[in-house]
Amino acid sequence: MNTALKKFENSLETLGLKSFTDKAERFIVAFSGGADSCLLLHLARYYFVPLGKTVECAHLNHMIRGGEADRDEQFCVDTAKKLGVRIHLQRVDIPALAENGGSLEEVARRERYKFFSSLAAEHMNTVVLTAHNADDNLETVVFNLVRGTSIGGLCGIPPVREEIYLRPLLTFSSEEIRRCCDDSGIDYVTDSTNLQTDYTRNYIRHRVVPVLREINPTPEVSVGRMCSSLRLDREYLQLEAERFTAEKCNSGIPTSETVMLHDSILSRVIIGSFDKAASSHGVGLHLEKKHVDEIIRHIRKAEEKAFSISLPGDMVFRCENKVGVFLHSSQCVSEVDLSETILEFDKPVLKNGYSVVLTKDITSFFQKNENIYNLSIHKSLKFDKIKGNLKIRVRRNGDLFRYGGMTHKVKKIFSENKLSAIQRRTLPIVCDDNGILWIPGFPLRDGTYSGNGDTVYLVCLKDGCQDLKMEC
Handedness of CA 431, 435, 439, 444 (dihedral sign): negative
Model pLDDT, residue 454? 87
Q: Is 466 exposed, middle or buried (0-12, 13-18, 19+ CB in 10 A)?
A: middle
Instruction: Please give the distance of CA 14 from its chain centroid, rounded to a whole number.
Output: 29
Closest CA to 187 of 59, 47, 74: 74
* pLDDT > 90: percent of the chain: 60
- Count the neighbouring beta carbons within 10 Å of the beta carbon of residue 31: 29
Model pLDDT, residue 201? 81
pLDDT digits over 313-364, tens only? 888 898 877 888 898 876 665 567 888 999 999 898 988 878 899 998 888 7
- Cross-strand partners of 125: none
The enclosing H or E element of 279 equals helix 263-280
**How far is Cα 446 from Cα 454, in angstroms, rounded to an integer?**
17
Question: For residue 307, what pLDDT band results from cuts at 50, 70 and 90?
Answer: confident
328, 281 Cβ separation under 8 angstroms: yes
**How far is Cα 253 from Cα 299, in angstroms, rounded to an integer?**
10
Which residues touch 355 (CB under 8 Å, ≥6 apart)? 348, 349, 460, 461, 462
CATH class of 2-229: alpha beta
464, 309 Cβ separation under 8 angstroms: yes
pLDDT of 468 higher than 50: no
Model pLDDT, residue 463? 46
Q: What residue segments make up the domains of the chain, in order of their start?
A: 2-229, 249-333, 336-467
Closest CA to 209 of 265, 271, 142: 142
- Among the residue ranges 210-219, 240-249, 314-323, the one predicted with the least confidence is 314-323
pLDDT of 137 higher than 90: yes
pLDDT of 199 higher than 70: no
**Higher pLDDT among residues 320 and 448, named by residue:** 448
**How far is Cα 42 from Cα 27, in angstroms, rounded to an integer?**
12
Model pLDDT, residue 16? 93
Select the highest-mean-pLDDT range: 45-59, 177-191, 315-329.
Answer: 45-59
Q: Is 195 exposed, middle or buried (0-12, 13-18, 19+ CB in 10 A)?
A: exposed
Q: What is the dihedral of CA 13, 17, 19, 25, to 10 degrees?
A: -120
pLDDT of 107 higher than 80: yes
**How far is Cα 264 from Cα 229, in angstroms, rounded to an integer?**
17
pLDDT of 447 higher than 50: yes
Phi and psi torsions of 54, nearest 5°: -95, 130
